[in-house]
Amino acid sequence: DAGVTQSPTHLIKTRGQQVTLRCSPKSGHDTVSWYQQALGQGPQFIFQYYEEEERQRGNFPDRFSGHQFPNYSSELNVNALLLGDSALYLCASSPRQGLNTIYFGEGSWLTVV
Amino acid sequence: AQKVTQAQTEISVVEKEDVTLDCVYETRDTTYYLFWYKQPPSGELVFLIRRNSFDEQNEISGRYSWNFQKSTSSFNFTITASQVVDSAVYFCALRPHGSSNTGKLIFGQGTTLQVKP
């Protein structure tokens, strides 16, 4: 049973560029959430998707957008990258029904130079 | 406002010592969920335990135990006979009530645990 998988694991981008991160949820999970974790901080909730729509959003600007596909996989897009966007981006999945344990992937380390 | 506070930034112990990680939370919800996660240097958040607000029964799992007290809004985590492999950052998190919050967690700042041989 595959857990939450994310790609790429590491990437370096230049300020002003755009980036897309990908996530496949754990089998049987239909809800995907994204988190940003700056160095030395706890993860911060960006947004959550289920039924292919954004359902909840944290305190992040519109430069952060996402998408969920019919197979429940998801993408996180960040436009006009800033140096401060450098962080570990974590994807999490959970089922909407039943036990709501939230599982995380290994994350994508983004460095903006 | 909902908030999780882990007052201990870093803890260092010698192997085989017991160690308790503190977590205090704030919420106005009567129903909520609490979690502990472990984050090794690789970055993945490893799920350790989930607790529902209506279940105050404390739990022991091997060397791990959790003490949930609603009266003090605390959900502390104890490792008995610590091992070097326990070295990691530990996060306490709160999930608000509501079907729209199934994937939303509010994290504390984390406690870095170093277990020395």
Q: What is the distance between the alpha carbons of residues B11 and B84, in angstroms, rounded to a whole number?
A: 13
What was the pLDDT predicted at B50?
Answer: 87
Considering chain A, what percentage of its residues have pLDDT values greater than 90? 88
How far does the CA of residue A109 sit from the closest CA of chain B (Å)? Answer: 9
Higher pLDDT, A11 or B41: A11
Q: Which single residue is written with the structure tokens 């706890």?
A: A42
Provide mean pLDDT across the span A30-58.
94
How far does the CA of residue A95 sit from the closest CA of chain B (Å)? Answer: 8
- Chain B residue numbers touching A106 (CB-CB < 8 A): 42-44
**Across chain A, what does the average pLDDT equal?**
94
Chain B residues near any Cβ of chain A (below 8 Å):
4, 33, 35, 37, 42-47, 50, 91, 93, 95, 99-110
Chain centre to alpha carbon of residue B24:
9
Render pLDDT for B43-85 as a digit per residue (tens, 0 to 9).
Answer: 889 999 888 888 777 777 889 999 999 999 999 999 999 999 9
What is the rounded radius of gyration, in angstroms, for the C-alpha atoms of chain B?
14
What was the pLDDT predicted at A97?
Answer: 74
Asked whether the beta carbons of A75 and A67 are under 8 A apart, the reply is: yes
User: Is residue B19 over pLDDT 70?
Assistant: yes
User: Is residue A1 over pLDDT 70?
Assistant: no
- Chain B residue numbers touching A100 (CB-CB < 8 A): 33, 50, 95, 102
CB atoms inside a 10 Å sphere around CB B100: 14
Taking CA–CA distances from B43, the nearest residue in chain A reads: A106
Contact A104 B37 (CB under 8 A): yes
Provide mean pLDDT across the span A55-70.
95
**Across chain B, what does the average pLDDT equal?**
91
Contact B104 A33 (CB under 8 A): yes
How far does the CA of residue A36 sit from the closest CA of chain B (Å)? Answer: 11
Q: What is the distance between the alpha carbons of residues A48 and B40, in angstroms, rounded to a whole number?
A: 24
Q: pLDDT band at residue A23, thresholds of 50, 70 and 90?
A: very high
Taking CA–CA distances from A47, the nearest residue in chain B reads: B104
Q: pLDDT band at residue A99, thresholds of 50, 70 and 90?
A: low
Q: Chain A to chain B, count of Cβ pairs less than 8 Å apart?
A: 76
Higher pLDDT, A104 or B96: A104
Lowest mean pLDDT of A13-22, A49-58, A92-101, B72-81, name the range. Answer: A92-101
Q: Which two tokens stand for residue A6?
A: 């994310």
Higher pLDDT, B31 or B82: B82
How far does the CA of residue B99 sit from the closest CA of chain A (Å)? Answer: 7
Contact B102 A50 (CB under 8 A): yes
